[in-house]
Amino acid sequence: MGDDRFSNEAVSLTAEVKSRANRYGFDLVGIVAAADLDAVPSHWIGHRDYMCYTKKTSDYLEGARSLIILGARVWDDIFEAVVKVRDHNEYPEEWRGESYTRRLIRFLERRGYRAVLDPDHLSKKRMAQLAGFGNFGKNTLIINPEYGPWMRLRSILTDAELTPNKPFEKDLCGICEKCVKACPVGAIAPYKLDPDKCLLGMTWEQRRSAEFRAIWDEHCPNLTENTWVMCTTCQRACPYGRERRSLG
């Protein structure tokens, strides 16, 4: 039986969006009602590039009705690569994910809908939990029962009516604190990360300091002179997703 709250058009469009997203390379696809995300209390984003509170969907798109959250599984260290390009860093995996997401946006636009790519002050992790991907892990990442913390998230905000998924309510972490204990710089407390202490949040000067250089070199090894692998030590400690990651 279908859900009487939604039109046949919404149900049909949702099915096509999910089918296309899978074909474009996303392993997980979920829908969140814009009103459900807006109902989540605003919280502080502590990353140095985003020192602000989360926003509402209307800040990005008037008449927004749905969010599409997309999860791409990462199964190899090449997905964690960072390339230094002159005075900034680039992330090759982001190019791939953005390209796939833009294909889905073009599909929605051809249908007459408006869509916004990755609204940066809307929490993708909260969308992923509301869409049923997994729970907030103690390492502050979303933990999926099958893929563990090994996912990249992209999002689309749209005025299309789509049928939402059910939230993920189970606690997968329980008493486990392997990720907390594994962090080489003690940046993780259960469900809380100190972004300034994390290797990935440190300034370049801190990373190359006498105190942290050896730790950085061990956990963020170089691939080439200008390319290195982001630290994934807390992810590797998580028991979820290990088997699928090794299978590629």
Q: What's the domain range around 222? A: 178-247
Q: Is the pLDDT of residue 71 over 70?
A: yes
Task: Clarify whether residues 24 and 145 are in a common domain.
Answer: yes
Q: Is 3 part of a structural domain of the chain?
A: no
Task: Clarify whether residues 96 and 197 are in a common domain.
Answer: no
Instruction: Report the predicted TM-score, pTM, of the whole model to 2 decimal places.
Output: 0.93
Task: Clarify whether residues 97 and 145 are in a common domain.
Answer: yes
Strands 81-85 and 188-189 turn out to be unpaired
- What DSSP state is assigned to residue 196? T
Q: Is the pLDDT of residue 244 over 80?
A: yes
Task: Clarify whether residues 59 and 117 are in a common domain.
Answer: yes
Q: State residue 1's pLDDT score.
A: 41
Active site residues: 118
Task: Clarify whether residues 148 and 182 are in a common domain.
Answer: no
Residue given tokens 């730790």 in the structure block? 215
Task: Clarify whether residues 119 and 188 are in a common domain.
Answer: no
User: Which residues on neighbouring strands pair with residue 28, listed in sequence order?
Assistant: 71
Q: State residue 146's pLDDT score.
A: 96
Q: State residue 52's pLDDT score.
A: 81
Q: Is 243 part of a structural domain of the chain?
A: yes
Q: Is 86 part of a structural domain of the chain?
A: no
Task: Clarify whether residues 27 and 131 are in a common domain.
Answer: yes
Q: State residue 47's pLDDT score.
A: 67
Q: State residue 203's pLDDT score.
A: 86
Task: Clarify whether residues 25 and 120 are in a common domain.
Answer: yes
Whole-angstrom distance, CA of residue 131 vs CA of residue 127: 6
Task: Clarify whether residues 184 and 151 are in a common domain.
Answer: no
Task: Clarify whether residues 50 and 124 are in a common domain.
Answer: yes
H-state helical runs in the chain? 8-24, 34-38, 92-110, 124-130, 178-182, 204-207, 213-219, 233-237, 242-247
The predicted-structure confidence for 79-118, as pLDDT tens digits, reads as follows 999 999 988 889 988 888 999 999 999 999 999 999 999 9
Q: Which residue type does 202 have? A: M
Q: Which residue type does 236 have? A: R
The pLDDT confidence band at residue 48, using thresholds 50, 70 and 90, is low
Task: Clarify whether residues 207 and 243 are in a common domain.
Answer: yes
As for how many domains the chain has, the answer is: 2
Q: State residue 248's pLDDT score.
A: 62
